[in-house]
Amino acid sequence: MKTFLSWLNEDAKIVLSGKGDKIAKPCDELKDIQLKIASQYPDYTHFKMNTTRKCWVLADGDRNEVITNIQTCCGGVHDFSQKDMGSLGAVAIEVKSKSGKPITLYVGQKPLNKQGNASAGVNNEMSCVNVVNEILKSANPIDIVFIDRKRNKFVCRQVVAVSHEGKNVVGGRKADVSLVSASGQAYSISLKMVNAEKWESLDRKAKETTPPYDVIGKTFNKLLAAKFDSKGKISKDADAKTILHYDPNTSETSFIEPYPSGVVWKADKKLATDVMFGSDCGDENGCIIVNNFMKKKNREFTISHKKMKDFPNGAAFIKVDWIIDSLSDVSNTKEEPYIMISNSKGRTSFTNYTGIRAQAVQKRRALGAKKKNLNLDTVKI
């Protein structure tokens, strides 16, 4: 019987990596799946292990194509619920174990090189652009109507073109996709995937000294002086530890245990509005659309050329999960914006302090059951 290492180096020519220095050993059934993928797709020979039954194919290019190829090769269904596999989820493959019991294996995808244009968010944006372009092939100009599960609508009149705007952040722009009408009117759409946990990274804005972002730096300065007892509670005891720890060996600053792994508070109205809508998505010609366009069923649309009350020349209709066009839409939901300051190696959200990051995140991430974040809405510093 060949050893685990000989299986890697001789038979499969497969390269495995893991989290840090640890590499989970794939179960025999997952080995078979990896071998099958690698033999059919020569570019898919690098795998990153998550657990003994979960791994990622490391491959560059279109992430949707990689997922589709995995399904073509191994069967299975695209399961977005596997949060530990990333925002793209993974292909769930049902097999029988060596003992005859049914088990589920998960194979996801990550870029082989540094994530950039291959990220799930960018792929989602490009999938939306592709949907609109497909519509424009059939009719141009045409009214395009996004409809969410509550029947809310976002109407883009007489659209003639669509563009990807994800990297255009000048002046606080948030649009990822822009639909342009025959008259030159731009409809700005910020796209979010279902269950996304972040509104915006605040590495740059956390340094601002004017409203509404100045509160982030002011709060951080208070944290520098905050002291905690051995149970992680705020304390005025002179011997209590400060919340932040500086490591002279790495020049990194971090929150230390048993103290909070992060600090959070609910964003005020102005700050929340800005991190959500920016300068271009908050008026009648802009909105946030929550939808996983990468899933085939979420890219379907219908075109009607019939004369309708609101659309005398017909229209195209695209179903989406949720349309957000005001702050009130997320009030008292898990999507409410919270500011989070947390450990993140190498980040420099605050001048002279490396290893600390500021972000605007959804409430569910800030106050999730597994989080140890200090909520400043309930504790004063």
pLDDT at residue number 8: 45
Instruction: Answer yes or no: do 205 and 223 share one domain.
Output: yes
Output the DSSP codes for 26-46.
PPHHHHHHHHHHHHH-TT--E
Quick check: 171 pLDDT over 70?
Answer: yes
| 160 and 37 belong to one structural domain | no
Please indicate, yes or no, if residue 8 is contained in any of the structural domains.
yes
20 and 57 fall within a common domain = yes
What is the structure's pLDDT at 225?
Answer: 84
Say if residue 171 is in the same domain as residue 104: no
When mean pLDDT is compared across 88-92, 113-117, 183-187, 268-272, the lowest value belongs to 113-117
Look at 252 and 116; give whichever has higher pLDDT.
Answer: 252
Q: Which of 197, 180, 198 is nearest to 189 (CA)?
A: 180
Whether residues 44 and 95 fall in one domain:
yes
Q: What is the pLDDT of residues 296-311, one digit of tens each?
A: 888 889 999 888 999 9
pLDDT at position 134 over 60: yes
Q: Are residues 23 and 103 in the same domain?
A: yes
Look at residue 338 and tell me if it is in a domain: yes
pLDDT value at position 114?
46
pLDDT score, position 113: 61
Is the model more confident about 249 or about 29?
A: 29
What domain range is 192 assigned to? 120-196+272-330
Residue 237 included in any domain:
yes
The answer to whether residue 86 sits within a structural domain is yes
Domain identity same for 43 and 178: no
Q: Are residues 149 and 186 in the same domain?
A: yes
Domain total in the chain: 3
% residues pLDDT > 90 (the chain) = 51
Residue 18 inside a domain? The answer is: yes
Do 8 and 45 belong to one domain? yes
Instruction: Give the model's pLDDT for residue 40.
Output: 87
* pTM of this structure: 0.70
Same domain, 339 and 312: no
Q: Using one digit for the tens of pLDDT, what is the confidence trace for 313-361?
A: 899 999 999 999 999 999 999 999 999 999 888 888 999 898 899 999 9
DSSP output for 292-307: -TTSGGGG-EEEE-S-
| 19 found inside a domain | yes
Q: pLDDT grade, residue 12 (50/70/90)?
A: very low
Q: pLDDT by residue (tens digit) across 47-100?
A: 888 899 999 998 877 777 888 899 999 999 998 888 788 777 899 999 999 888
- The closest alpha carbon to 193, from 64, 73, 378, belongs to 64
Longest dimension (CA), the chain: 76
Whether 142 is in a domain gets the answer yes
* Residue scoring higher pLDDT (205 or 43): 205
Assess whether 188 and 222 both reside in one domain: no
In a domain, 380, yes or no: no
| CA atoms of 112 and 118, how far apart (whole Å) | 10
Burial class (CB in 10 A: 0-12, 13-18, 19+), 356: buried
On the question of pLDDT at 13 being above 60, the answer is no
The answer on 308 and 251 residing in a single domain is no
Annotate 152-163 with DSSP letters as a single string.
Answer: -EEEEEEEEEEE
